[in-house]
A and B are shown apart, each in its own frame.
Chain A
Amino acid sequence: MTTKKTIRVLIAKPGLDGHDRGAKVVARALSDAGMEVIYLGLHQTPEMIVNTAADEDVDAIGLSVLSGAHNTIFPRVISLMKQKEVDDVLLFGGGTIPEKDHPFLKAEGVDRIFMPGTDTKEIVFYLQSALNDSTPSVIEGTASKS
């Protein structure tokens, strides 16, 4: 019997931002690709997002930001991830995030940013290749590969 690791992803929209179509489309695409998506929806604070990610033990956090607050939200999420022992989790973002801000966000620790118009297949492929073989085992001395 194979024990394949199921990829778990948290999808949320931080802050005061009501445009959740993109987040829903991505959530659906990831679930159609065989992942378990914990969908948190609108108006999440960085604290709510990181606490949930810790309890749900997700492999990745995807935040959709169309409010322009990305330079505030992502660094706050990242500092909480370090505090709460969630820093082995992949953080990615999507939405209207101007390219001039990407270098700053990447330096902070956002692994990848997807712009409007991205094919959902690209996001699926990104997560599968980033997570499938490199998920570090939390238990010492055991490999996570099945």
Chain B
Amino acid sequence: MKPQEMVDRILKADRRAAARLMTMVEDQSELASEIMKDIFACTGRSMLIGVTGAGGSGKSSLIEHLIGRFRKDDKKVGVVAVDPSSPFSGGALLGDRIRFQKYSLDDGVFIRSMGSRGYMGGLARASSDVVRIMEAMGNDVVIIETLGAGQDEVDIIHIAQTCLLVLTPGMGDDIQAIKAGIMEIADLIVLNKADLEGANSCIQSLESAIHYNLKKDKDVWVPRVVPTIASSMQTAECEGIEDLYQNIMEHQAFLHKTRRIDTVHAKRIEQELGLIFKDEVEKTVFAGLKGTGKKREYIESIIKGNNNPYSVVDEVLSTFLRTEKLE
């Protein structure tokens, strides 16, 4: 497949071509960034929903029902599901698809599993590229599922327009609910497994936490708590899914009405730029050092006390990067 053919096929929603480009961006192939230049131009129009929360809270099951709800409106749906890679072997067991099986034969649904491959923040390095490819394929909605996240994996806000935080009853007292980090990023807090004991008091403490955290701006979005009971039984209905869907649509309407959506787009581009810069600088520097034996020399000079890591980085960077500012 030639690069141009790949782009043409992806823009015509060809799944195989899209799947192959996703592998290339994951493996950081040189050619991928060339192809992404053409893909990028055809993105930016999809609704992007992030789903985060602890492992076992029901993110995948909930997403299965959300896919179904969007399919009722005849929307095309893409799902990016991230699971953790092992820090020891680099391998991963990607099991989110087990919950989405109902849609494995649906032409309007494209699901891709990703290992985090050592990237911090709850997503994979290539997640934002994979989302872009799904947008270029013409998916109306792209749902991004983070790996099981605890308190600090908040990168999802840089991609998603509407962030869902999935919690379950019995995960801690009201102090947990007012801590910084993941609690602050939710546009909607989904209290899943709301048939479990303690659900009502949990809803109360979450709602009061929302009001502690609230900035007193005009036109501010007040996060909402939506109880759901997402069963993994494939035939079962999910209680609360319609309510969740309506709340998502209201948040989207809010973003567009207040033009907050522009800020969200800008933040996303800023994040992507940062990532690409970081990678390219790293690549340039390592490629320049490779085979010169300099790295070993630097390390030895630091051990001997003749040098320090900060001076080494200064020296290397001034060799590889020009320091003048852009006009």
Q: Report the bound CA distance from A27 to B30 in whole Å.
A: 30
Partner of B31, one of A39, A54, A139: A139
* Interface residues of A, dominant DSSP: mixed
14 pairs, A vs B, C-beta closer than 8 Å: A1-B279, A6-B90, A31-B92, A31-B93, A33-B91, A39-B93, A47-B105, A54-B15, A56-B113, A84-B16, A85-B16, A138-B20, A139-B1, A139-B3
Q: Which of A37, A44, A56 contacts B92 (CB 8 A)?
A: A37
Check A37 against B105 for contact (C-beta < 8 Å): no
Is the Cβ of B115 less than 8 Å from the Cβ of A36?
yes
- Cα distance A140–B4 when bound, in Å? 11
A-B pair count, CB < 8 Å, reads 101
Per the CB 8 Å criterion, the residue count for chain B at the interface is: 42
Please state if B16 and A54 are interface contacts (CB–CB under 8 Å).
Answer: yes
CA distance A116 to B92 in the complex (A): 24
Residue of B nearest to A140 (CB): B2
Q: Which residue of B lies closest to A24 (CB)?
A: B93
Q: Which residue of B lies closest to A48 (CB)?
A: B104
Give the number of chain A interface residues (Cβ < 8 Å): 36
Bound-complex Cα distance A32 to B153 (A)? 24
Interchain CA distance A117-B279 in the complex, whole Å: 45
Binding site for B on A (CB under 8 A): 1, 3-6, 8, 27-28, 30-41, 44, 47-48, 51-52, 54-57, 84-86, 138-140, 142
Which B76-129 residues have a C-beta within 8 angstroms of A?
85-86, 89-95, 97-98, 101, 104-105, 110-113, 115, 117
Cβ–Cβ < 8 Å partners of A48 in chain B: 101, 104-105
In the complex, which residues of chain B have a beta carbon less than 8 angstroms from the beta carbon of A38? 94, 97, 113
From known contacts A55-B15, A57-B20, A57-B22, infer whether A37 and B28 are also in contact, taking CB-CB under 8 Å. Answer: no
A28 to B93, CA, bound (A): 7
